[in-house]
Amino acid sequence: MEQGRTETAPARLRISVPAQATPTARGEHPCAEPAYGRPATGPGPAPAAQPPPPARKVPQRHSVRGQILDALRSALVGGELVPGEVYSGPALGERFGVSATPVREAMQQLVLEGAVEVVPNRGFRVARRSARDLAELAEIRVLLEVPAMLRLARTSQSVDWSAIRPLAEATTTAAARGDRAAYAESDRAFHRALLTLTGNRQLVLIADDLHRRSQWPAPHTPSARPTDLITDASEHLALLEALAAQDAATVEELVTGHFAGAV
């Protein structure tokens, strides 16, 4: 059991999730058919067959956990979960309107992603991300994605770049609103779509994980200003134009600079 809750999550973290299934009595099947009357003895027509009762829609645990995980990721990116602070499963569960179990399950995924760490008997501490951590992540992304983008610039003459443009424009829209969480999601979607064109599924998975890790806020660093987000988003549109023109030099410059100044 977690003790010493630290309740710092703001009320706006609350999300709507399906109601938990009501436990059934021991040995009782949740979709059991109702008891029927005893058939009459002796001659006579057989009782008409009764249709089975409609299946009860029971919320799946993984769907609740997924919603909690999405909400926690948004809270991390938006700075609502503060680096260094400890959050207990029961306290966050109360905010979300669910039990502590799906919260803990979601937090375990965030442990694997390096966003939080386990504090025995207390909960989960939001990891501190130093400037060096972010620089190292950016360096790895450059090593992976610059060659991939250069290959796209050389070999993707038949790509319909206009199909990806809405993803770039979505980052611009989120940046204009100053919505850091929405920007982070649309930013990943844009980069994921470009890397998918390489046909390398493992590259897409690894790069997406690195991208997500790089989006957790650094300690003692305020959230990015809207102007920073807008500048970052404008590079997406410029990159699309360079790829369509097969301008490898500009593609390399844009991608390298984009990661170096990522917000």
CATH of the domain at 70: 1.10.10.10
Mark whether 67 and 186 lie in a shared domain: no
Whether the CB-CB separation of 81 and 75 falls below 8 Å is answered with yes
Answer yes or no: do 210 and 158 share one domain: yes
Question: Is the separation of the CB atoms in 146 and 249 below 8 Å?
Answer: no
Q: What is the pLDDT of residue 145?
A: 95
Confidence of residue 56 (pLDDT cuts 50, 70, 90): very low
Range of the domain at 112: 1-18+59-127
pLDDT of residue 262: 60
- Within 13 Å, how many C-alpha atoms sit on residue 175's CB side? 20
Closest CA to 189 of 207, 162, 216, 213: 207
Same domain, 150 and 250: yes
CA–CA gap between residue 122 and residue 61 (Å, rounded): 23
Indicate the average pLDDT of the chain: 78
Given this model, what pLDDT does residue 237 score?
94
The tally of domains found in the chain comes to 2
Q: Among all chains, which residue has been given the structure tokens 């499963």? A: 89
Tell me what percent of the residues of the chain surpass a pLDDT of 90: 48
> Cα separation of 67 and 96, whole Å?
10
Which residue, 75, 106, 127, sits at the end of a domain? 127
E strands present in the chain: 86-87, 116-119, 123-126
> What residue spans of the chain are helical by DSSP H?
61-77, 89-96, 100-112, 131-155, 165-177, 180-196, 201-214, 226-244, 248-260
- Three-state secondary-structure class, residue 173: helix
pLDDT at 62: 59
Within 10 A of 98 (CB to CB), how many other CB atoms are there?
Answer: 20
What pLDDT does residue 23 have?
Answer: 41
Return the half-sphere exposure (C-beta side, CA atoms, 13 A cut-off) of residue 231.
Answer: 12
**CATH number of the domain bearing residue 159:** 1.20.120.530
pLDDT at 55: 42
Residues 121 and 140 in one domain: no
pTM to 2 decimal places: 0.69
pLDDT, residue 3, reads 46
Q: Are residues 192 and 74 in the same domain?
A: no
Return the closest-CA partner of residue 33 out of 55, 6, 17, 16: 55
Average confidence (pLDDT) over 101-105: 93
Q: Which of 10-24, 37-51, 53-67 ranks highest by mean pLDDT?
A: 53-67
179 with 108, same domain: the answer is no
At 47 the three-state DSSP class reads: coil
Q: Inform me whether the pLDDT recorded for 198 exceeds 90.
A: yes
